[in-house]
Amino acid sequence: DAGVTQSPTHLIKTRGQQVTLRCSPKSGHDTVSWYQQALGQGPQFIFQYYEEEERQRGNFPDRFSGHQFPNYSSELNVNALLLGDSALYLCASSLERGEQFFGPGTRLTVL
Amino acid sequence: DAKTTQPNSMESNEEEPVHLPCNHSTISGTDYIHWYRQLPSQGPEYVIHGLTSNVNNRMASLAIAEDRKSSTLILHRATLRDAAVYYCILRDVRSGGYQKVTFGTGTKLQVIP
DSSP A7-73: E-SEEEE-TT--EEEEEEPPTT--EEEEEEE-TTS--EEEEEEETTEEEEE-S--TTEEEEE-TTS-
Q: How confident is the model at residue B1 (pLDDT cuts 50, 70, 90)?
A: low
* Regions of chain A where pLDDT drops below 50: none
Nearest to B27 by CA among B64, B53, B76, B77: B64
| Of residues B49, B97, B100, nearest to A96 (C-beta) | B97
Percent over 90 (pLDDT), chain B:
73
Q: Is 60 exceeded by the pLDDT of residue B97?
A: no
Residues of A in contact with B106 (CB under 8 A): 42
Residues of A in contact with B96 (CB under 8 A): 96-97
**Distance in angstroms (rounded) separating the CA atoms of residues A6 and B106:** 24
Percent over 70 (pLDDT), chain B:
89
Nearest to A11 by CA among A93, A74, A76: A76
Contact A45 B46 (CB under 8 A): no
Strands B9-13 vs B107-112: parallel, antiparallel or unpaired: parallel
> Which residue, among A93, A96, A100, would best test binding to B if mutated, counting the most B CBs under 10 Å from its CB?
A100
Q: How confident is the model at residue B100 (pLDDT cuts 50, 70, 90)?
A: low
Task: Report chain B's mean pLDDT, rounded to a whole number.
Answer: 90
Q: Tell me the pLDDT tens digit for each residue of B44-59.
A: 999 999 999 999 999 8
pLDDT value of position B105: 81
Q: Is 60 exceeded by the pLDDT of residue B5?
A: yes
**Distance in angstroms (rounded) separating the CA atoms of residues A71 and B28:** 36
pLDDT value of position B102: 67
Chain B residues within 8 Å of chain A (Cβ atoms): 41-46, 49, 85, 87, 93, 95-106
| Of residues A50, A97, A102, nearest to B44 (C-beta) | A102
Q: Tell me the pLDDT tens digit for each residue of B13-39.
A: 999 999 999 999 999 888 889 999 999
Q: Is 70 exceeded by the pLDDT of residue B2?
A: no
Contact B104 A42 (CB under 8 A): yes
